[in-house]
Amino acid sequence: MHIVHPDLDTYLLEHCSPAADDVLRDLAEETRQAVPDLTSMQITQDEGAFLTLLTQLTGARLAVEVGTFTGYSSLCIARGLADGGKLIACDRSEEWTATARRYWERAGVADRVELRLGPALETLRSLPREENVDFAFIDADKGGYPDYYEELVTRLRPGGVIALDNVLQGGSVVDETEQSEPVKAIRAVNDAIAADVRVTSVMLPLRDGVTVVRKR
Ligand SMILES: C[S@@+](CC[C@H](N)C(=O)[O-])C[C@H]1O[C@@H](n2cnc3c(N)ncnc32)[C@H](O)[C@@H]1O
């Protein structure tokens, strides 16, 4: 299912800023060459610009990312942090995040990113149960989304924001014949957020769907 008409794709990419610089372009190209089958895991330039914008709008000093891969989204978040800010980047792949580390160095943000390798749920549960997270981005295994959301929303400060990627699953969320575990988990978190009195939220048709949640 095309969520946005393909004819609009280039136009959308051309009308957001900042445009991807050499660092982001090289990272996208290196990822495409290294793992061609997995390129779709990486967020696109417009979603990256959106993450930088959300990080800036929340004035984030503490951000958390679940699902780092080769580092595109983490770079966009790190670039939006307030002075002295920190991003805790969670992933379980040493191999893919080795690329991310190189690009954090090249972009001059390595000192703002703290990589936590391991199962993301364990990492999130190890964080203090304080409401001190300003911004979070969830983009890892879909089955984990309900738990990642719950662990993060309890740690979000009032006014803080969580963005969740792939919430439309290529349209499968509205296809009742689709009963795979990842899609069921995404439906569950989408329903939970819509009914969650702790937050206000909107689901945007950006790429594969991005939900933006603000804690009251
Ligand atoms: C869709 S990719 C993230 C893409 C990334 N946000 C980007 O912009 O390139 C998902 C990542 O989640 C990681 N992941 C999947 N399940 C995980 C888990 N249970 N704990 C930690 N990381 C996990 C994978 O290793 C992979 O790097």
What is the pLDDT at residue 2?
A: 83
What is the pLDDT at residue 4?
A: 87
Q: Is 139 in the pocket of ligand 1 (CB under 6 A)?
A: yes
Strands 113-117 and 86-91: parallel
Strands 86-91 and 62-66: parallel
pLDDT in tens, the chain (216 residues): 888 888 898 899 999 998 899 999 999 999 999 999 999 999 999 999 999 999 999 999 999 999 999 999 999 999 999 999 999 999 999 999 999 999 999 999 999 999 999 999 999 999 999 999 999 999 999 999 999 999 999 999 999 999 999 999 999 999 999 999 999 999 999 999 999 999 999 999 999 999 999 999
Tell me how far the alpha carbon of residue 63 lies from the centroid of ligand 1, in angstroms. 16
In whole angstroms, give the CA distance from residue 188 to residue 197.
Answer: 16
Cα 148 to the center of its chain, rounded Å: 12
Instruction: Give me the phi and psi of 7, to 5 degrees please.
Output: -60, -20
Tell me how far the alpha carbon of residue 71 lies from the centroid of ligand 1, in angstroms. 10
Tell me which CATH homologous superfamily contains domain 6-215: Vaccinia Virus protein VP39 (3.40.50.150)
Q: Is 96 in the pocket of ligand 1 (CB under 6 A)?
A: yes
Q: Is 145 in the pocket of ligand 1 (CB under 6 A)?
A: no
Q: Is 85 in the pocket of ligand 1 (CB under 6 A)?
A: no
The structural domains of the chain, with segments of one domain joined by +, span 6-215
What is the pLDDT at residue 114?
A: 98
Rg (CA), the chain: 16
Cα 201 to the center of its chain, rounded Å: 16
